[in-house]
Amino acid sequence: MTTFLRLIVLTCVVAFAVQRLPADNVPDLLLHDGLSLNGEWRSIIDPYETGFYDYRREQRDLNKNPSRAETFYLDVKPNDPSERVEYDFDTSPMLNVPGDWNTQRPELLYYEGSVWYRKTFDLEKLGDGQSAFVRFGAVNYRADVYLNGKKLGTHIGGFTPFCFDVTQFLKPGKNSLVVKVDNKRAKDAVPTVSTDWWNYGGITREVKIVTVPKKFIADHRLILDSETTHTISGWVQITGAGAGEPVEISIPELGEKISAATDASGRAAFHFKPEKLQLWSPVTPKLYEVRIACGGDKVAERIGFRTVRTSGKEILLNGKSVFLRGICIHEEFPLAGGGRVNTAEKAKQLLLWAKELGCNFVRLAHYPHNEAMTRLADELGIMVWSEVPVYWTIDWTNAATYENAQSQLGDNIQRDANRASIIIWSLANETPVSEARTKFLTQLAERARSLDQTRLLSAAMEKHSLPGAENVSVVQDPLADVVDIVAFNQYTGWYDGLPEKCAKISWQIPYDKPVFVSEFGGDARQGLHGSKDQRWTEEFQADLYEKTLPMLGKIDGLVGFTPWILVDFRSPRRVLPGIQDGFNRKGLISSEGTKKKAFAILQAYYQKRAAAERTQ
């Protein structure tokens, strides 16, 4: 296992039996050495959820002696030839983990429903004073998890890590881990039933069994308080500790070793001022190895230190104005069979394409991407907009929907709180203005700020035409008063007129805040050529970029943009034969990994801006 992978953060939702702990008590475990459960898992496709419900649609309850014959999570074999058991994991086909099921088996390409996964593993008896957890990087969308026939719990949300305490359920020798994965869309879910991306099902990120001492490092935070004083503050949370537990934080390269003691809640606070601290930036993405030790538990990860804030209509990184040369990215890979990104190598390729384009910034749309992506962004010096899937038409008045969104936001912030690359938490994308929606998102913003005050908040809003003045584009949204950056999507020249309209547009954005264009662009089928007036051709897309860039340059307070999108991606909404074929074709790179003409247009623009910035 590489050093990088050992340092990937585990964010774990710990549950005893079927109870999830309250959010304030959720630990965030760094990746201790553990047993990888990646690889081939047995699988059963279960569209009627026979293994979960009986024929009267009542859940097969462990407390009610469920039938061995049809209760898949019991994972049994017939006791004798006469016993009826209507499933058999041992003879069922395999699915690879991590991975989506859609691209692994043709019959699952459009499948939305339940698939049962089973993995057996051997484990020695735990030592005295040890606890064990099973950790999932992500499962889309609902995961019901069982170990040796006992339910560990349920996790809802397709893009954030979770784990369960398995200490009392493990047994020496062979163990059976069964997961019912359900990716059905729902009106009250986050995201809701309507999206413009592929609903990949499966155990899409890595799975491990992790062992820790009874007292272990559950979470930590390191914050650069000021780019001028270079003071660093933070805290370490120890699960199982009371007051007075000694904790040591060290940064060998800086010659720093700090001792702290936990309070009654198990938290140890600290601050220090290193003599020679190099700040993280896209030009110099400096990272320091930070080591934390408490009793028998030790963790380490590479962390960069920087500040970000706004001043009027500027974004200041380490106190200096910065322009965000960006691109949007979906967590989807165009090569090697496509599908959900499930390795650090695939994540790195996407970011390297962004670097080649001239980007210093990426918008990770429309959900938290895998953990490798943000850690690689740290390494490569790429700033990040990180988003939760509050998308289009969320059920704004449903309390459970809000709690779901808040949980996903909190998990995302907790997982990536130490990533220097992330400068913006995004609350939503293209949500229609209403009183209920604004209340929902305002409350979500308050929650985000209570968890992290060191980053900026934004959301991808929408622009509108001024009534009676078609060529005057207006951004006016009550959410703009809540967030730090006024960001919006606009598609002049594609959904709104033709590219020639760009030259006629003027802007009204009445906020003394930085302005950011979170999406623009148009579709092109790679390899389809024609005149610039012919829609779907590479020439049309390139011309749209050439006309859009000067239009956006007229915006007062513009601090950057992220065109839509780096790579073509799957979407069931896109059905035009011979052109879309189930793909959104707005990528600057095709679904086969080939660059389109518009790639060079944006690349030249970014190279010119970067050269000008170097001379300032």
Supply the CATH number for residue 105's domain: 2.60.120.260
Backbone angles phi, psi at 480, to 5 degrees: -65, -25
Q: From 276, 270, 228, select the one nearest 253 (Cα to Cα).
A: 276
In this predicted structure, the answer to whether residue 19 has a pLDDT above a threshold of 80 is no
Residues 184-199, mean pLDDT to the nearest whole number: 96
Distances (CA, A) of 393 to 182, 188, 194, 364, 436: 21, 10, 7, 20, 12
Residue 590 token pair: 């095709």
SS3 assignment, position 83: coil
Gap between the Cα atoms of 426 and 388, Å rounded: 7
In-domain check, residue 220: no
Regarding whether 255 and 184 lie in a shared domain, the answer is no
**So what's the pLDDT on residue 615?**
83
pLDDT (tens digit, 9 = 90+) per residue, 218-262?
999 999 999 999 999 999 999 999 999 999 999 999 999 999 999
- The pLDDT value recorded for residue 13 is 38
Averaged pLDDT score across all residues of the chain:
92
Helix (H, G, I), strand (E, B) or coil at 559: strand
8 cis-preceded (ω within 30 degrees of 0): no
pTM, 2 dp: 0.93
Instruction: State which amino acid sits at residue 399.
Output: A
Q: Quote the percentage of the chain above a pLDDT of 70.
A: 94
In a domain, 486, yes or no: yes
DSSP for 506-545, written as a single string: EEE---SS-EEEEE----B-TT----TTSTBSHHHHHHHH
pLDDT for the residue 22:
32
Confidence (pLDDT) at 2: 37
Specify the residue for token string 């959720």: 26
| CA–CA gap between residue 234 and residue 219 (Å, rounded) | 11
C-alpha dist (Å) from residue 368 to 13, 68, 190, 388: 16, 38, 12, 6
pLDDT tens digit string along 289-318? 999 999 999 999 999 999 999 999 999 999
Q: 479 and 334, same structural domain?
A: yes
What secondary structure does DSSP assign to 122-182, as a single string?
A: EEPPPPTTEEEEEEES-EESEEEEEETTEEEEEEE-SSS-EEEE-TTT--SEEEEEEEEEE
User: What number of other Cβ atoms are within 10 A of residue 107's Cβ?
Assistant: 8
Question: Could you give the number of structural domains in the chain?
Answer: 3
pLDDT at 337: 83
Reported as a single tens digit per residue, the pLDDT across 153-191 is 999 999 999 989 999 999 999 999 999 999 999 999 999
537 and 497 housed in the same domain: yes
pLDDT classification of 125: cutoffs 50, 70, 90: confident
CATH number of the domain enclosing 429: 3.20.20.80
Same domain, 375 and 506: yes
pLDDT at 27: 53
pLDDT for 126 equals: 86
- My answer on whether 168 and 292 are in the same domain is no
Write down the pLDDT at residue 21.
Answer: 32
| Residue 90 covered by a domain | yes
Instruction: State which residues form the domain around 573.
Output: 316-615
Q: What is the pLDDT of residues 548-577, one digit of tens each?
A: 999 999 999 999 999 999 999 999 999 999
Domain boundary among the residues 283, 306, 329 is at 306
Instruction: Report yes or no on 222 lying in a domain.
Output: no
Residue where a domain stops, chosen among 213, 239, 265: 213
Are 13 and 97 members of one domain? yes
3-state per-residue secondary structure call for 208-225: EEEEEECCEEEEEEEEEC
Nearest to 284 by CA among 380, 384, 423, 418: 380
Predicted confidence band of residue 58 (pLDDT cuts 50, 70, 90)? confident
The helix/strand/coil state of 97 is strand
Say if CB 42 and CB 67 are below 8 A apart: no
Domain co-membership, 406 together with 265: no
Give the whole-angstrom CA distance, residue 546 versus residue 602: 8
Residue 486 predicted with pLDDT over 90: yes
Do 477 and 575 sit in the same domain of this protein?
yes
Distance between CA atoms of residues 80 and 589, nearest Å? 57
Place of tokens 């509050």: 390
Q: Are residues 201 and 232 in the same domain?
A: no
Token readout for 172 is: 């020496």
Residue 165 CA to residue 152 CA, distance in Å, equals 8
Say what the pLDDT of residue 604 is: 98
Name the pLDDT band for 128 (thresholds 50, 70, 90).
Answer: confident
Same domain, 187 and 322: no
The CATH number given to whatever domain includes residue 280 is 2.60.40.10
**How far is residue 361 from each of residues 198, 279, 305, 324, 384, measured CA to CA in Å?**
24, 17, 17, 6, 6
DSSP 3-state assignment of 484?
Answer: coil
Question: Same domain for 425 and 533?
Answer: yes
Which of these, 93, 129, 119, 115, lies nearest to 207 by C-alpha position? 119
- The pLDDT confidence band at residue 29, using thresholds 50, 70 and 90, is low
Q: Report if residue 221 sits inside a domain.
A: no
Taking the alpha carbons of 414, 417, 421, 426 in that order, is the dihedral positive or negative? positive
For residue 522, give the nearest of 565, 586, 473, 576 by alpha carbon.
Answer: 586
Which residue carries 């019991």 as its tokens? 74
Percent of the chain topping pLDDT 90:
87
What letter represents residue 306's amino acid?
R
Q: Is 362 helix (H, G, I), strand (E, B) or coil?
A: strand
Work out the number of other CB atoms within 10 angstroms of the CB of residue 533.
12
Residue 258: strand, helix, or coil: strand
pLDDT band at 593 (very low <50, low <70, confident <90, very high): very high
String of DSSP letters for 26-53: ----B--SEEE--EEEEEEE-TT-TTTB
Distance in angstroms (rounded) separating the CA atoms of residues 87 and 69: 8
Cα distances (angstroms) measured from residue 284 to each of 9, 48, 314, 325? 23, 54, 21, 16
Q: Which of 306, 326, 355 finishes a domain?
A: 306
Q: What is the pLDDT of residue 28?
A: 56
Burial string for 403-431 (b: 16+ CB within 10 Å, else e) reads ebbbbbbbbbbbbbbbbbbbbbbbbbbbb
DSSP code string of 390-455: -BSS--TT-HHHHHHHHHHHHHHHHHHTT-TTEEEEEEEESPPP-HHHHHHHHHHHHHHHHH-SSS
Indicate if 532 and 436 belong to the same structural domain.
Answer: yes
DSSP at 307: -
Handedness of CA 369, 142, 402, 584 (dihedral sign): positive
In-domain check, residue 218: no
